[in-house]
Chain A
Amino acid sequence: AQSVSQHNHHVILSEAASLELGCNYSYGGTVNLFWYVQYPGQHLQLLLKYFSGDPLVKGIKGFEAEFIKSKFSFNLRKPSVQWSDTAEYFCAVNALAGGSYIPTFGRGTSLIVHP
C-alpha cells in the first residue's frame, strides 16, 4: 500500500524566512501529487498539483513544489513566508489502485509564521 511521509510536523518561522516542507511517498507507479492547505477556521483547499510535464510546479500565493521521481519526493517551497501562511499543510498522493484513484494523505505539517 502506498504511504506518504511528511517529516516536519511543526515548523515555526519568522516572516521573510524561506520555507521547505518535505514530502516523500512510497509507490512505484504513476502518481498524481498534491499539496493542500488548511488555514485556521477554513476548509482544506488545493495549493498546487503535479500530474505530468515540468516537475517544478507553481501554485497559489507564491508556493512551488518540485517532483523528484528518483527520490519519490514532492517538497513544498516558498522563498519568503508571510504571517498569513500560518496554516496546516498536507501532501497527498493519488495512485491508481484496483482501477480507481485512492488518495493518501500525509499527517500534515503545522506552520506558524511569526510577524
Chain B
Amino acid sequence: GAGVSQSPSNKVTEKGKDVELRCDPISGHTALYWYRQSLGQGLEFLIYFQGNSAPDKSGLPSDRFSAERTGGSVSTLTIQRTQQEDSAVYLCASSPKGGSSYNEQFFGPGTRLTVL
C-alpha cells in the first residue's frame, strides 16, 4: 500500500515569507507526527495529532509554527515569517492506534526547506 507522502520535496523561500508543508499519512493511521531534522541533530519533535483529540503542540519552537489536520487525515505544517534557522528537513510520520505496528512510526520522505 501507499506510504506516507509529503509535498513539496524541496522548498526554497526567502526570509520573511510563509510556507506550507503537506503530509498525507497512511490511510487508517490515527496518529500523525511532525519532526524537524537539522544537520547533525536528531529528530526534534514538533507536534502530534491523535484522532480527534486536541493536538500536542509542546514541541513547536515558536508561535510562527502551526499545524492542522483536516478530517483526521491530511496535515499541513505552516511556518510564518520564515527565518534562516528554520532551514531543515521536516519529517512527517504516522502510526496506527492498534495492531502489531502499534506505536511504530512510518515516515515520509521529508520536505527540505531552505530559507535564504
- Write the residues of chain A forming the contact surface with B, with a CB cutoff of 8 angstroms: 4, 6, 32, 34, 36, 43-46, 49, 51, 90, 92, 94, 98, 100-108
Q: Which one of B4, B48, B105 has the greatest number of beta carbons of chain A within 10 Å?
A: B105
Q: Nearest residue in B to A34 (C-beta to C-beta)? A: B104
Q: Cβ of B56 and Cβ of A100 under 8 Å apart?
A: yes
Interface of A (DSSP majority class): strand
In the complex, how many angstroms separate the beta carbon of A76 from the nearest chain B beta carbon? 15
Known contacts A90-B43, A108-B42; decide if A100 and B107 are in contact (CB<8 Å): no
Q: Is the CB of A43 within 8 A of B108?
A: yes
A101: nearest chain-B partner, CB-CB: B103
On chain B, the number of residues with a Cβ less than 8 Å from chain A's Cβ atoms is 25
Among candidates B40, B42, B58, B110, residue contacting A102 with C-beta atoms closer than 8 Å: B58
A4 to B58 Cα, complex, angstroms: 18
Query: Contacts A43-B3, A44-B91 hold; do A106 and B42 have CB atoms under 8 A apart?
Result: yes
